Homo-oligomer: A and B are copies of this chain.
């Protein structure tokens, strides 16, 4: 099988022609009162408030087209935004997509992107209600996602209190393992991790479940457990003291240890420092039964002489924290 020589590029289609390939893949349900095609969409906001978050992916900075298909990028762009909504304790309801595409991009890639959004959103009842399309030198995917708090207060980063249990839902380090395998040119070492890197899964339902259970603080782990635990600690004015990762994160370490061995990497660095797994990190009062799939990974302590932030077993962590896309 080879590409058809007639496979059209974006520049070969009109804007309407490209939109005609996108629209069929976008989920639309009862939350969408007015969908794409007018000046704006109208969506339900049942409790009189709406949760709003925006995230942008830039080609060659957040993804590479030789590593990820359009489907992959659409999936990832959706998940990372929906995870931010879930991290407020909200149920994701809808999103809009602003898309910049070079003229020499295959139209199939754009259709794949739409398919990826549909695949990531549809099963969660999240509607893609609108968007905008422009030309430009590289692919840029800017997503704004919305959610419904169902009458509850939002769960902020700033509510953790000394004595709270620190818990995590999702996986740690798998995306970093997949990235490392791709970077080493050896994706065959761990196709599963490569797949998780390309299409991360976030435990979206765990966000509202944590809120119902009484979570005091929560965030999406997008830049690595250490860095995001530090953010939660600083926002709350406390210390997040993580348990021994060999115990608390044993399953995550076991998952990536063979890949780390094959690539000569440190599995603890992946599990504590690797980003883009999009699990949820939350704190709960000590008497709360953790809702599944949260598992204890640490405890909240009062701020110490060196201030708020993160420790591992009471000590300053030695592992390199997650990356900063902006500084790249």
Contact = CB atoms under 8 A, between A and B. Distances in A.
A235 B36 CA distance: 13
Interface in A138-166: 138, 140, 142-147, 149, 154, 156-158
Interface stretch (A56-64, A109-117, A185-193): A56-64
B133 A136 contact: no
A42 B48 contact: no
Contacts of A87: 39-40
Interface residues of A, number: 70
Contacts of A44: 48-50
A261 interface: no
Contacts of A131: 54
B132 A38 contact: no
Given A135-B328, A136-B61, A325-B135, A98 B55 contact: yes
A182 interface: no
Contacts of A137: 137-138
Interface stretch (A89-97, A239-247, A267-275): A89-97
Contact of A85 (B40, B58, B143): B40
Contacts of A33: 49, 154
Contact of A49 (B42, B61, B325): B42
A312 interface: no
A272 B181 CA distance: 57
A159 B88 CA distance: 38
A144 to B, nearest CB: 4
Given A39-B219, A96-B144, A137-B137, 18 more contacts: A34-B88, A39-B87, A39-B218, A40-B87, A40-B145, A45-B48, A52-B94, A52-B144, A54-B130, A54-B131, A58-B134, A61-B135, A61-B136, A62-B134, A98-B142, A132-B142, A135-B326, A138-B138
The 10 closest A-B pairs by CB, nearest first: A45-B45, A142-B142, A40-B53, A144-B144, A98-B142, A56-B98, A39-B87, A15-B326, A54-B96, A39-B84
